[in-house]
Amino acid sequence: MLKRKIIIESCCLFFCLLSLLLLPYRVFSYDSSGDLKKYLSSLEEQFSRYGWKDINPREIPWEYYRTTKLKKPLMFVTFGNSSKNCILFLGGVHGDELPTVYLMFKLAHYVKENPALFKDKCIVIAPILNPDGFLSASPTRVNANGIDLNRNMPTKDWAAKAIRQWTAKGKLARYNPGTRPASEQETLFQIALIKRFKPQKILSAHSPLNFFDYDGPSSDLNSFEKWMEQICKESNHPLKKFGYYPGSLGNYAGHERNIFTLTLELPSSDYGQGRNYFEKFQPSILKFISLPIVGSPPNIRIINNYKSATGK
């Protein structure tokens, strides 16, 4: 009897250890349809076409719960486990803005290799919001349904303005907001990330308009603006208050939900510039990660003034 008990306990221990060893690969065990494996292979092929040899999508422990129209996983990675201090990074919202995708994968590698960055916070990176657009034979801004994901967020002014403004500007296919708000899986994915992680800060990367833009809580928008002015000087990148559109992330997250939302518009959509852009904007990104925020919406604010926040 005792012998049998020892055998059972040994087996339990063995399987416990085995599951611990396999922990980093937990995503694959949920990937019963094989969608993620197929997707990572497609990404590898695309990355090698673009000469992005220093990023390897298989080295990051991705999670995903929903897929796009063309069955591409909407994946993200979480570093750290603080529930109070979360920063969300979004890339490839528009599928033809290629260096934004490189930037986010490179950032995921960098954060993974530097755990001190997420010791007391959580960093969530969703590197390709629009995989169908990114992987199409000729990459497109819009998703497989032809919708501009940055016009499809369910903002309060969507019903009154989104289709009306789009029509007034000539119904350009690139800016199609859809027939109703949050009609797209990719939109629901962004909403789910915001609901789950309750980020205090979001950085969304775009190209090629070449500026920083910001939206955020009216409780402390002035401090954010001053901090942004400093960051723009340091990174030699223009600041532009672009305003926000019905259905845009800046409107949904910054304006309506009081999240400090930074839009980084890279200077071009040239995939060959990815590495240069990472080098150029890495210091600003790291400062954004460490920018201290207190309170909860709507009374959220930056703790120190911009001078100490930027170390000057």
**What residues from 245 to 304 belong to the interface with Zn ion (CB under 5 A)?**
none
Q: Which of 27, 79, 94, 221 binds Zn ion (CB under 5 A)?
A: 94
Q: Which stretch binds Zn ion (CB under 5 A): 86-94, 154-162, 177-185, 192-200?
A: 86-94
Only one of the segments 46-54, 75-83, 108-116, 201-209 lies at the binding site for Zn ion (rule: CB under 5 A); that segment is 201-209
259 contacts 202 by C-beta, under 8 angstroms = yes
As given in the structure block, the two tokens for residue 281 are 């904007």
Interface stretch with Zn ion, choices 47-55, 175-183, 202-210, 281-289 (CB under 5 A): 202-210
Closest approach, Cβ 310 to Zn ion, in A, equals 26
**Which residues, listed in sequence order, are joined to residue 265 by a DSSP beta bridge?**
206, 211
Minimum CB distance to Zn ion, residue 245 (Å)? 11
Least distance between Zn ion and beta carbon 214 (Å):
16
Q: Is 202 helix (H, G, I), strand (E, B) or coil?
A: strand
Query: What is the DSSP secondary structure assignment for residue 58, as one 8-state letter?
Result: G
Q: Residue 179 in 3-state DSSP?
A: coil
- Angle in degrees, CA 77, 80, 81, rounded to 5: 105
Q: Which stretch binds Zn ion (CB under 5 A): 29-37, 93-101, 181-189, 196-204?
A: 93-101
Specify the residue, 121 or 141, whose C-beta has the smaller distance to Zn ion: 141
Q: Which residue is nearest to Zn ion (CB)?
A: 206
Closest to 206 in 3D by CA, of 68, 99, 106, 278: 99
Residue 289: C-alpha distances to residues 85, 119, 201, 286 (Å): 10, 12, 8, 5
Using CB under 5 A as the criterion, what x/- string covers residues 208-247 for binding Zn ion?
----------------------------------------
Of 105 and 227, nearer to Zn ion (C-beta) is 105
Residues 6+ apart with CB under 8 A from 147: 176, 177, 178, 183, 184
The answer to the question of residue 151 lying near Zn ion (CB under 5 A) is: no
Give the span between the Cα atoms of 62 and 31, in whole angstroms. 11
72, 206, 255, 257: which one binds Zn ion (CB under 5 A): 206
Nearest residue (CB) to Zn ion, 94 versus 106: 94
121 versus 206: smaller Cβ distance to Zn ion: 206
For residue 131, give the H/E element and its range. Answer: helix 131-135
Nearest approach, Cβ of residue 93 and Zn ion (Å): 6
Q: Between 221-235 and 274-290, two packed helices, what is the crossing angle to 10 degrees?
A: 140
| Residue whose token pair is 């833009």 | 213
Nearest residue (CB) to Zn ion, 206 versus 301: 206
Site residues (CB under 5 A) for Zn ion? 94, 206
